[in-house]
Each structure stands twice: as C-alpha cells, then as structure tokens.
Structure 1
C-alpha cells in the first residue's frame, strides 16, 4: 500500500490578525501529531502550514489510507483470580474475555492461549490480540476535531448554521470565526469528514474581489498552493506572503531613491501579512508640516492605527512618505493611494494638535495633577509615588555622584511621570517618557534631565538599551525599586505566568543596570532604603518586602546567568553567598570556572564540604587559633601554609582579582589533605577540639570569599 499527500483546509471569515500565524501553526501541528499517533503519518512526513485572513490549511506528505494493524498485549487479572485450583477459568476471567471479544467456542483453548508473566509480587494473565489500524476516514475525523479543539483561541464566537437533514432547523456552532467551507483531499480523493457543520469537498474560495474563478476547484492535495495563487489570487502560505510583502516594501523604497528605508517592525509585518491575501505595496505621502511633530508620535499613529510602514531617510529621520500594503491591485491605484492619504491626515492632525496644546503648559505645572491619578488603591496616587521615587533617587544619586547627581536625579524623578497627564500620552500611552523628554527640552531643562525622563522606563523589555546617562540610571533604579518594593510589601507577587505589574521585568532591569554599569551599590542597602519610604503605608510589611524581594532578585539573576551559559553549579556556588554587589558576580563566575579546571579543585571542593559539615555540627565556632595548642605535624603544617597563602589570597580578593585569589588558595590542597589524614578534629580535650575547629573555620572563611566551593563538590 502506497502513501499519498493530504490537504485539509478550513475556509472561514476574517481571522484575528495578531493570532493568525499562531493559529495556522497550531492547526497544522496538532493535525499532523494526531495522524502520527494513529499511525497514518510517519515521523518523516513533512508538514506545511498555510494561513491567510480567511483560511487555515495544512499539507502533510506521505499519509496512509489505512494504518497497519498492530499487536496489543493487555493485562487481564492476577492468575489467582483468573484460574481456580484446577487451572480452569473462573467466571471473572470468562466475563473479561467475552468483553474483549475473544473466541470462546473452546474455553480451554482460549485459556491456554493466554500468557503468564510476573507482575509485581504475583503472576498475571495477559491477552494478546491484533488491533486493526485506523482508517484515514475515521482517523482524520478524530485528528481534525482535536486540531480545532486545541487551537489557541482565548474566546470563541457562537453562530448558527442550518441543519443538513430532512427537517429544517438551525444548530449552534462555536469557533473563532464562522466557518463556511472544508476541504480534505488525500491525493485527489475527498476524505468524507465533517466538522463545524461542514462536509469536506474539493473546492474552496479565493480572493474576495480578484479570484479568477469562484469556487476554486482543487485537483489534488499537491496543487493547492499553485491553484490558490493562479485561480484564487491568494498566496496561501503565511511565510511566502510575508516574504513577498518585505520584498515589495524594499523595492518601493528603493525606487524613491535617497537612501530611504521602510521602518523595521517584524510584529507589524506579521500583522499586515495576516490582513492581506494578495499584497500590493503602494507609496503615499502626507504634508511636510506634520514633520514638526516628534516623529515617534507620527510613526506610532501610522503603525498602530493604520498599519502603514513609515519611511525613514538615511539618517533615520522620518520622511513625509509612507508605504501601504493593499489587498487589491487595480490598474489605476490613485484612488487607493488617495483614500489612504485622506485617512491618515486627521490622525496626524490630531497628533499635531495634542503636541501644540501640551507645550502651552510646563511639566512642572503638571506635577500637581498627578495627585488625582490613582497608582494603586493600597499605595496611593501617582503624586505620592513620585515623592517616594524622588527620595530613593536622591539617596542613590548621593551614593553614586554626590550632591550634583542627587539634585539632577531629584528633578528628573519629580517630572518623570508628568507627561501622564498630557493630551498626547492620554491618546498614545506608549509615548510616556518619550513625550516627557520633548516637553522637558521645550521647557529649557538640561538635556541630561530630559534624557532621564525618557530613559527611566528602560530597559522596557529583554535586550532593550539601558538609560543613556547616569541621571537616567539613578531614576530608573529608583522607579523600578519603588514598584518592586511596594508590590512585594502589600503581597502582590507574581504567580505562575501571571505578572500584571511586570515585576520580573523590573527585577531584571535593576539587575542589568547594577551589573552592566558595574555600580558600586549593595542590593541589600538598595532594597532596605526603598522599603523605608513606605513606612507610612497602612498594611505594608517591611520584613516581607526586604526578605522576599531579595530572594526574588537572586532567583531572577540565577535564571539569567544560566541563560548566559553558566552552569547551575557555578551559579549556585557564587549566588549562595548572596554577594551584595551584583557587578562582581560575572567576575566571580569566571574565577570559579577557572578554578574548576585546576587539578586541585575536586579535592578542595570535597574538603570544603567536609569542613562545612563539621562546623555545622559544632555550631558557633571562633576562628581564633592558638599556635601553642597545635600538636600534630599536619595541623602545624596547615597553619603555616595558611599564614603564607591566605594573606596573598585576601589581597588579591580585595583587589578584585578573584581568579588569582582562588588559584592561590589551590596551593592549600596538599596540607589540607594531610590534615584530614593525620588529625582528629573532634579530640577529647576540649581545648584541642576548639582550636582545631577554629583552624578549620579560618580556612573555611578564606576559601569561600569568592564562592561557596562546597557547591562544586560532586
């Protein structure tokens, strides 16, 4: 029996554009997965997903008409239950065999055919049978129902379909959008499946306006993409359609000359790909006067509201040209171009009006308005929040740059949220911070302060740039710490995949600034200082905020470091010490990795673990050592080696040369091994015992300044 390729298509009304790619991939993926599970497709079967605004489809190669039969062994019951003392079948066994459809005309033969095998403490009876392989008709029906059930749809629509039976009537159907057609072709043969009130056929529908024929008849599964493009005027493949749009965008920009380029935005490209079936890129323009408005405003309104692609010049400045991806290709495109230009003009005019109006008031004059904006019902208004951020920013600025930086940070923190009460940000919330910078410059404020107003939101996402200047870094730290400490203090912690206040992102932002800027700040001091600003908040738990938030920081940092390629063991060894200055952590990790490569490392890590266990049992140990109480040659030798080596290692540690510090300590391997071979730590004489414990304590302290080396032990 040979295989043939399979095509399944659901023809529907316009699907949600932002979810289209995910829907298409999920539909094809689950369909193929189910067919493989039924033995109708193989691991080598190639799956091609298709998704356009009005269809989800999948092409799967090498699909069988019927799956192979397979041998199945089924456990029945313990031998003691199925057979009596004479070895004859009990009624329970006969009933079970009958339910399985076994031939019982000769009960003795049926029982003799059963297999016995150990099952736990007793033997059990097993029944061998041949299970018929699934047919494509039944298998595809099951797979299609499963694929539809597992589509990642947060909300479905409910609609009515006329029933297909002798008695007229209507049935209710639930799906992402109303479905109007179903294709299921195995080679050129229609597979008789039904779903969503539809029967499978071999025809579909193409472009609403430009299809050459309607309906579009499909000859076989393999002709789908070509037939849809020629007869249906539809590029069915999401990936091909996206590539075609990208090609046309670049081509249209190149024809304009002057080095203009369409703005790069993959999310916008995906969304536009999900809106058109036959893309046609057209060049449009707007009036030069609108370029007086900050380009971020114009770009946002064109992208978010109209799905246009703004054109930038060679210097990255916005031009008055933009590109439209049309779903039709008329001979004369002037009407389409003119229509899009008319549509965008009021949007740009609104942006210009907001910008002009906002500049009539200074940012300082807007600060009082933040008292009327609710931040959180337990944490007060945005005005109260701003005062907390200001206090934190002053404290951090003082530590990093003295009075001058503290003053600049205070001013930036005071004004950072003022643009929230402007008309522009009210219309386009995504521009918060960006507009604050423009308005600050318009007010004649220092550029460093203006940049900090925009940058205090950074990093906004993974891989985003950090604030440009130190003032921006200070305010960004204060802003994120205020959010984190406040939310932890009132118990608003992230759970599972829910993080409505983006606390994970804020924590990683703080970590990145501390590490990448190598700031001489203690995480512990930062958190405690921030928490002290909430002392007047009812219900705020200081202890919870400090303890749980620091755990949260180190947990997020550990995950980030593992993603960067450090092993879990290396990360655990360093972060278990809770280093106060996070900027040192990567250097410590590099030192640990270099130490781990030394031949002395395994023995020293094991010895360190042993020392830790000894000290744990001894509880509080004084690291003081009396030379007069050193009796054994091995402990005398270890003490002498430590007097020579530990000061060197400590000096290297103090200088920040962590790798050299650990390599210096590696020279202690031989005396440490000799100590454990020749010295009884827990001697009966209490003075000797305490002195030896003190020696191990000083050794333990010296060896674990960079990282907890015991975590490296196998």
Structure 2
C-alpha cells in the first residue's frame, strides 16, 4: 500500500505565547496517536511538530492512503438461544444476522466457541480499513478537541450564522499527503494547499505548499518563517549569544528559559538587536530593572562578567529591516519610562524606614481565620526567639526577633506592590539603607528560602532561624484550621514549606527536635489539637521520605530509618548510611528476620512487656548465652550510638546473630511458668530496644 508523508497545518490568529509550546506538542502528538490507532501510521512513523505565533502543524512520515482491513469477531448469542434442537437458526438469530446485513444462510458459517461456561455463536467478518480522508478527519477532530487550551474563544464563520469555539480564529487549513490535498474540514475550513507566511516579509501571499516534505523549507525561504518551535528557540539563543559577544567585556544575556520560551512564541523570524538605556538607572537595584525589562517588555538584560547589570539589553525583533535603528530607537524609548518608574518607586520607598511600615501590617488580612499579617508576624517572632535561643546565644535570638519583625514590611512598599516577586529582595535593600546591617538585611531576603527545589538555603544563622519560624507558622496555622493539601491541590505551597524545613534541619545539621518545633508552633493556635500535631508531623516525614527516595535510597532503607521518627533530622543521613552498611553484612538477613519475629511476639504479649531481666530466672543455656552476649555487646553499641557512630553501632550488634538464632531454636518464649515467660519477654524487649536505636531493622526483612 502506498505510503507518503503527511502535512497538516492550522493557520490561525496569534496564539497565547505562554501556551504555544504545549499546544504544538499536543496537536502533533494526538494527530500521530490517532493515525496509528486507525492503522494509517505505523510504529516507525515519526512526527515533527510545528508551532509559531500563527500556526500549529505536524509532519508525519510513512502515512498510508488507506488502513489495512481488520478481521472482526462479534459475539451474537449462546448456542442454546441461536439454534433449535435440529441445529437450525432460531428467529432471534435470523433477526440478529439481518441487523448485521446478513441472511439466515450465514448461520451455517458462524463460529462456535466457549464463552465462560456456555458455548456461544460468533459472526466473523472483515472491516475495511479507513481511508486517509476518513482517518485524518477523525484524527484532526481529536487533536483539536484535546488541545490544552487555556481559554476558548467563540467566533463567527464567514456565513455570519455559524460559530466556532477555538483558542483563536482559524483562517486556513492545509492537509497534504505527498502533493495531494486530503479532503478534510475543521473549524469551518476546507483543507487546501495554501497558507500564509510572515505577516510583513513573506515573498508570497498566500503561499502554496508544493508537497508535505517541502513545507518547512518553503516556510523558511518563501514565507520567511522558522516554523519549528525548537529550531526557532535555538536560533534565538544563538543570536543572543552572538550579540552579547559583540558587546564584549564578558557580557552575557540573563539566563531565563521561561522568557526564552515566551519570546520564541512571539516571533516567527527572530532578529536579535542590541539596545541601551541611560547609566543613571543603574543606581536602582538590578533585580528591579531586570524584572521590569523581562516581565513588561520581554527583553534580555545583559550582565557583565561579574554578573552585574549593564546598561545594554537585547531585543528579539520579528522583522529584519536593512536599517534597524528605528526598531532599536523605539525599544529604547519604550523601556525608559519603565525604568523611570522603578527609580521613582525605589526613591520614594527609601523615604520611609521599614520599621515605620510594620504597624500597617495590622491592616493587611493574611487569612480570614488566622488574622492579619501583623498578627502573623508576632507568631513568627515568638517561634524565632525560641529557635534562636536553642541554637545560639541571646544575641542570635534578638537578631532573629528583629529580622522576623521586619520580614514582611516590604509588602507595603511601592516597589513590591508593583512587582510582588521582589518581596524579600527589596526588604534587604531597604534594611541596608536603614542601617540595620547585613546580618538582618540578608535574613529578611532569605527567610523565603528555599523557594523551590534546588534553591539555596539562607546564608546566615539569623536567616535560617527566621525561615524556619516563618515556614513552621505557615504550616501550623493552616493545618490548625484544616487547610491541608489534597491530591495535586496545594494552594498555600505547604509541601514546599515542609521540604524547606526538612532541608534546613538536615543540611545545616541543626540540633533541633522536630517534634518540639511542631509543638511550639501549634501552641500559638487555639484551633490546634493533638490530632493536628500528628497530622503535621506525619506530613513532614512524608515529604522527607519522598526526598530521600529521590536521592537514591531504597524504600526499605527509608522506611527502616523513618519508622522511628528520629527527631534530629540531621542524623537521618548517618542513620541511612549505617542501615545500608548493615544490610550488606552476612548477618543482616537473619537479624532483620529475628527482629521482626521479636516485634510480633511483643505485640501479641498480654498485659504489656517491661524491658527488664532477672538473671536468676534464666534457666536455659541459650537464654543465658544471649543475655551474656547482650551484656558484652549492647553497652559498646550504645556508646557508639551516643557518640554518633551509627554505622559502628549496628555492626557491633551484628555479633548477636548466633546467640539470637540459638535462643529461638532452643528456648520456648511462651513458657507455662508465668515468671519464666515474663522474664523471657523482658529479655526480648531489652534486645528489641537495643537493636532498634538506629533504625527499625525489621523493615529490612524480606
């Protein structure tokens, strides 16, 4: 059967730039998937996605003009219903065959096969393969229906009566199988071979496409459009780098993948130009200038070799005039008032110290069940003072209290009002201007950290204390009022806050107990209950478990360590290393199995078990030998555990394997004598406690 390459393109009005990449991938992916499902494309068929501001397209290789015929087997009814005692078709069977376009004579050719416990009749036929026109029509409908459209538009067609719902009005549809037009329709359009090139620079309008394989080259050479999103993105990145090198001085464009994606979705024929602004604006914090250029104008600011902002920036134009001065001059005129606004905000904000803004936070609602930002700040201060006192001196607690008091004050500044992304960053600049010193200023900026996976931690102890306090207050408050994350929904980013706490406690090896921190934070909320504490603690340990698995630890290793809910999270890495080393010992499987057995015995014991041993009641030689080994080994293991050498502690305990095995072989734990039974259970409880100080070894049992 003849196979040719297929091209499909929807030419539309400007698509939403932030969604374009996903739209292009979804359109081409669904199209290929549907063509394969109908036997028109094969597993070897490849799809190339096209997505520009005014088009969505796909090029699919090896597409058949018609799908292969498919054998069908359709169950009709049980034999007992379809055939009478003489084997002749019943009226019910005849009627069923007629509905399928067959007559009573077809009954002789029906297949008989078991269907469950009864024999049934099956009608076998052949379904003719779909033609490309039929299959593409269905595939195109599915591809359009499944687009992840952020917001649908409703617009009228040319007839003035019909309307269509789509992301943007569509004006042309191209569908070519080789050089032949496939007669399909979509969005009120009939397929043809004509599209449009660049709005201003195309050499032809409309632009006829010769065949499916010529599309990309024709769009580039005649339409002046780079149709592939990925190739256009790569071209922009290349031009940005070249323009920066031409500026010299080690200049580099700001690294921002999201901005690069958005700009790629805004242009069809990229042309990078260098512009500049007045140096006087460099007195404004560079974060403000960079953000206003990126967010408002989609420019790429240029940084010098030290990462400092220069007064030059790069513009990605959609046209390539011989004289680009009008384009550069226009962009320079546009950016100037934006930078002037930033300078005005910065100058105005510094006229009022941060401390003078704190009172205003009492009028800003944080949450209708948790009060104002001012009330929230007082809770954060209370937690920060406690943490600071535990971690260091009174000086640390005082500095943390001051930083916590001012941490949210920049929310009331003009700059943060214009650019909420700069909260914390502007607080640092204003704190330095107020003469508060780098330690407190850095803590004001850093208390939001880590903001995302891989983000840095606060740079000093004051920042760590305030960041912990802020995240604990957020988690405790929202858990106290029942605002827990559900499924994929986490509107208050509580998972991120929990991971931030985990990272700070672990990576900085802070001598803080997680349970005590949770209790301290929840104590500030009258809505909190004992169940709240349990929920929040479990939530944090679940985030920790997920992070550890991502770092390469096995589920068994993680479960063994976290089953004990170690309060010092800084110890977790050492415990995991110890468990991994222990698991590699030849004694490990037997000891893990024994540990699990001991745990089960102790759970089933009536009246509870005290970890206490009366040596005079040890009658059997095996229990005497185990007790003697424990007296020798467990003090050494305990000392190693207390010194922080968890790996040595577990390895020392491995020597108990032989006496433990012998004990279970030779000793009846549940003896008839109550005293002997209680003593043996006490011996096992003592052993269980000694073995499970680093981790719950039973979790390592197969």
How does the TM-score come out when normalised to structure 2? 0.98
- In structure 2, the partner of 1:541 is 528
2:487 matches 1:496:
yes
- In structure 1, the partner of 2:578 is 591
- Residues in 2 aligned to 1:47 and 1:145: alpha-carbon distance in whole angstroms: 18
Structure 1 residue 590: deviation in Å?
1.6
Look up the SS of the partner of 2:15 in the other structure.
coil
1:525/1:153 CA distance change after superposition, 3 Å: same
2:74 matches 1:77:
no
- Residues in 1 aligned to 2:292 and 2:511: alpha-carbon distance in whole angstroms: 42
Question: Which of residues 670, 695, 699 in structure 2 aligns to 1:707?
Answer: 695
- In structure 2, the partner of 1:109 is 108
Question: Which of residues 530, 551, 572 in structure 1 aligns to 2:538?
Answer: 551
- Partners of 1:532 and 1:542 within 8 A in 2: no
- Partners of 1:486 and 1:545 within 8 A in 2: no
1:39/1:653 CA distance change after superposition, 3 Å: same
1:133/1:400 CA distance change after superposition, 3 Å: same
Look up the SS of the partner of 1:181 in the other structure.
strand
1:583/1:108 CA distance change after superposition, 3 Å: same
Residues 682-710 of structure 1: CA deviation (Å, up to 9, x unaligned): 11111111111111111111111111111
- Partners of 1:488 and 1:544 within 8 A in 2: no
- In structure 2, the partner of 1:153 is 149
1:550/1:84 CA distance change after superposition, 3 Å: farther
Question: Which of residues 392, 402, 408 in structure 1 aligns to 2:383?
Answer: 392
- In structure 2, the partner of 1:57 is 57
Structure 1 residue 11: deviation in Å?
0.5
Q: How does 1:558-577 map to 2 (within 5 A)?
A: 558-577=545-564
Look up the SS of the partner of 1:40 in the other structure.
coil
2:355 matches 1:358:
no
Q: How does 1:429-444 map to 2 (within 5 A)?
A: 429-444=420-435
- Residues in 2 aligned to 1:300 and 1:114: alpha-carbon distance in whole angstroms: 72
- Residues in 1 aligned to 2:390 and 2:625: alpha-carbon distance in whole angstroms: 45
Look up the SS of the partner of 2:162 in the other structure.
strand
Structure 1 residue 170: deviation in Å?
1.8
Residues 260-310 of structure 1: CA deviation (Å, up to 9, x unaligned): 111111110000000000000011010010000000000000000000000
- Residues in 1 aligned to 2:636 and 2:82: alpha-carbon distance in whole angstroms: 78
- In structure 2, the partner of 1:616 is 603
2:407 matches 1:416:
yes
2:613 matches 1:625:
yes
Structure 1 residue 544: deviation in Å?
3.7
Structure 2 gaps, min length 5: none
Which has the higher mean CA deviation after the structures are superposed, 314-323 or 649-658? Answer: 649-658
- Partners of 1:115 and 1:127 within 8 A in 2: no
Residues 27-86 of structure 1: CA deviation (Å, up to 9, x unaligned): 101111111111111111111111000001011111111111122223333333333444
Structure 1 residue 154: deviation in Å?
2.9
Q: How does 1:22-37 map to 2 (within 5 A)?
A: 22-37=22-37
Question: Which of residues 270, 275, 280 in structure 2 aligns to 1:289?
Answer: 280
- In structure 1, the partner of 2:20 is 20
- In structure 1, the partner of 2:359 is 368
Look up the SS of the partner of 1:162 in the other structure.
coil
- Residues in 2 aligned to 1:269 and 1:626: alpha-carbon distance in whole angstroms: 74
- Residues in 2 aligned to 1:94 and 1:561: alpha-carbon distance in whole angstroms: 66
Question: Which of residues 588, 599, 602 in structure 2 aligns to 1:601?
Answer: 588
1:553/1:24 CA distance change after superposition, 3 Å: same
2:672 matches 1:676:
no
- Kindly report structure 1 stretches of 4+ aligned residues shifted beyond 4 Å: none
- Residues in 2 aligned to 1:676 and 1:130: alpha-carbon distance in whole angstroms: 69
- Residues in 1 aligned to 2:194 and 2:214: alpha-carbon distance in whole angstroms: 12
Look up the SS of the partner of 1:106 in the other structure.
helix
- In structure 2, the partner of 1:405 is 396
Residues 528-547 of structure 1: CA deviation (Å, up to 9, x unaligned): 10111223xxxx23334311
- In structure 2, the partner of 1:11 is 11
The count of residues paired between Structure 1 and Structure 2 equals 701
Structure 1 residue 251: deviation in Å?
0.6
- In structure 1, the partner of 2:176 is 185
Q: How does 1:130-141 map to 2 (within 5 A)?
A: 130-141=126-137
- In structure 1, the partner of 2:270 is 279
- Residues in 2 aligned to 1:534 and 1:5: alpha-carbon distance in whole angstroms: 66
- Partners of 2:51 and 2:57 within 8 A in 1: yes
How does the TM-score come out when normalised to structure 1? 0.96
Question: Which of residues 568, 571, 594 in structure 2 aligns to 1:581?
Answer: 568
- In structure 2, the partner of 1:659 is 647
- In structure 2, the partner of 1:340 is 331
- Partners of 2:94 and 2:104 within 8 A in 1: no
- In structure 2, the partner of 1:208 is 199
- In structure 2, the partner of 1:166 is none
Structure 1 residue 105: deviation in Å?
4.4
- Partners of 2:19 and 2:150 within 8 A in 1: no
Structure 1 gaps, min length 5: 164-168
Look up the SS of the partner of 1:473 in the other structure.
helix
- Partners of 2:89 and 2:104 within 8 A in 1: no
- In structure 2, the partner of 1:646 is 634
Look up the SS of the partner of 2:392 in the other structure.
helix
1:358/1:630 CA distance change after superposition, 3 Å: same
Structure 1 residue 107: deviation in Å?
4.9
1:347/1:694 CA distance change after superposition, 3 Å: same
- Residues in 1 aligned to 2:305 and 2:503: alpha-carbon distance in whole angstroms: 32
Residues 97-152 of structure 1: CA deviation (Å, up to 9, x unaligned): 33333x32425513xx31212x3333333332222212111111111111111111
- Residues in 2 aligned to 1:20 and 1:220: alpha-carbon distance in whole angstroms: 25
Residues 283-339 of structure 1: CA deviation (Å, up to 9, x unaligned): 101001000000000000000000000001111100000000000111111111111
